[in-house]
Amino acid sequence: AQSVTQLDSQVPVFEEAPVELRCNYSSSVSVYLFWYVQYPNQGLQLLLKYLSGSTLVKGINGFEAEFNKSQTSFHLRKPSVHISDTAEYFCAVSEMDTGRRALTFGSGTRLQVQP
Amino acid sequence: DSGVTQTPKHLITATGQRVTLRCSPRSGDLSVYWYQQSLDQGLQFLIQYYNGEERAKGNILERFSAQQFPDLHSELNLSSLELGDSALYFCASSVRDTRTDTQYFGPGTRLTVL
């Protein structure tokens, strides 16, 4: 079985500062990796996903993430955040080569961008 | 707007009651997933349907059931409700039944059990 750990439950940051949201996973098989964002009172929206190939993945709204297989990490970064980036961010995995298609989510990181 | 619709948006009911949550996937999507988001358990996968057939089960209680109809909309039935069932229930859809397909999430149904 796989699990996802998001190391920070809350990350406060000032506007225009860089941010990194950390995600580590554990799985007995290879996985696909995803980052979703949830704005207040809304559903989840896909930011980016890693399936294969280049370990640096670029997503929407200026976000990017880097897959590190040796450290089993998939940290999300943005060089300069905006107030509108305030939201909850979820890291998720799905297993390759198994019958399970559903996503396993981390507990989420609340990004609070302050002016 | 993801294209996935869920009704109702909010639902308030009493313990012991039964409710039905409805999900319409994006046009053309064959897979529907149900997830539960609660403060203590986080986001958990409940069940998946693909083209009308149950494909996978997660942490779904026996009191809960689901189905996907020929027009591909899905319903999640929750019965003998308990206070702990209060949560946000999301439906997601994807084109096919593969692990690489993006799952598109609806806005959710917030269930409050009093």
**A71 inside 8 A of chain B by CB:** no
B80 φ/ψ sector (left φ>0, alpha ψ -120 to 50, else beta): left
**Cα–Cα distance, A81 to A65 (Å, whole number):** 15
Are B48 and A105 a contacting pair at CB < 8 A?
A: no
**Cα–Cα distance, B92 to B5 (Å, whole number):** 9
Cα torsion through B89, A42, B97, B21, rounded to 10: 30
Question: Does the pLDDT at position B100 exceed 90?
Answer: no
Query: Which of A3, A29, A44 should be substituted to probe chain B, the one whose Cβ sees the most B Cβ atoms within 10 Å?
Result: A44
**Cα–Cα distance, A114 to A59 (Å, whole number):** 23
Least confident interval from B90-94, B100-104, B110-114: B100-104
Query: pLDDT tens-digit profile of A49-84?
Result: 998 888 999 999 999 999 999 999 999 999 999 999
User: How much is the average pLDDT of A27-39?
Assistant: 91
Residues in chain B closer than 8 A to A99 (CB atoms): 56
